[in-house]
Amino acid sequence: MAVVYLGAGTIWYERSMTEEKRYWYNVKSGEVEDGPQSMGKDRIGPFSTREEAANALATYAQRNRAWDEEEEDDDWGLL
């Protein structure tokens, strides 16, 4: 279990189902975090490597484009 101090007497705990090292991308600071270090609302992940986390925004943009294209092709059963 990781203990993260958020300041002014606030302690936040994050449980991990695995002991593997994981990385997050902090969307507020633009930094890669080695383990969860900020509030969940400010980070995306987890990622397996530092490089994957550093490229998180590009990965998410690519996925969003692919999903948008799928939605354009889907007629939702309407003809």
Handedness of CA 47, 48, 53, 56 (dihedral sign): negative
| pLDDT tens readout for residues 3-54 | 554 555 555 555 555 567 899 999 999 999 998 899 999 999 999 999 999 9
Q: What is the pLDDT of residue 20?
A: 76
Beta carbons within 8 Å of 1's beta carbon, 6+ residues apart: 13, 14, 15, 16
Kindly tell me the burial class for residue 65, based on how many C-beta atoms sit within 10 Å of its own C-beta (0-12, 13-18, 19 or more). exposed
- Quote the pTM value: 0.63
The residue type of 41 is K
Q: Give the number of other Cβ atoms within 10 Å of residue 33's Cβ.
A: 20
